[in-house]
Copies of this chain bind each other. A is one copy, B any other.
Amino acid sequence: MAVQLELAVNLFMYGVALLAGLLVAEVSKRIRQSEIIGQILVGIILGPYVLGILRPNEIFEFISMLGMLTLLFIAGLETDVGVIIRSGKAAAILAVGGAVLTIIMTLPIAYLFTGSFAIAFYVGVALCATSIGITVRVFADFERLKSDEAQLIIVAAVLDDLLSVILLGLVIDLATAGTLTVQRVFKILSLTGAFFAAVLVFGVFFTKYIAPKVWMLRSRGAMLVFCFSLALLVSFIAAYVGLSPIVGAYFAGVILAETEIRNSVLTDVSPIAVVTVPIFLINIGMKISFVSPGKAVLMGVLFSVIAVLSKFLGGILTGMVQKQDKNSSYILGIGMVPRGEVLLIFADLGLTLHVIDNTWYTALVLVALVTTFLTPIFLKNLLLRGGKEDEQSNKNNIEGNSGKS
Contacts and interface: CB of A to CB of B under 8 A. Distances in A.
Interface of A: 1-5, 7-12, 14-16, 18-19, 21-22, 25-26, 28-30, 35, 58-59, 61-62, 65, 69, 217-222, 224-226, 228-233, 235-236, 239-240, 242, 244-245, 268-275, 278, 345, 348-349, 352
A2 B231 CA distance: 21
B278 A225 contact: yes
Given A3-B352, A8-B239, A245-B8, A18 B229 contact: yes
Contact of A235 (B8, B225, B230): B8
B18 A345 contact: no
A352 B240 CA distance: 37
B25 A222 contact: yes
Number of copies: 2
Contacts of A29: 218-219
What 4 A-B pairs come out closest when comparing CB atoms?
A221-B274, A15-B232, A8-B239, A25-B219
Given A271-B269, A352-B2, A18 B225 contact: yes
Contacts of A242: 1
Contact of A218 (B26, B230, B233): B26
Given A5-B239, A62-B10, A22 B226 contact: yes
A233 B15 contact: yes
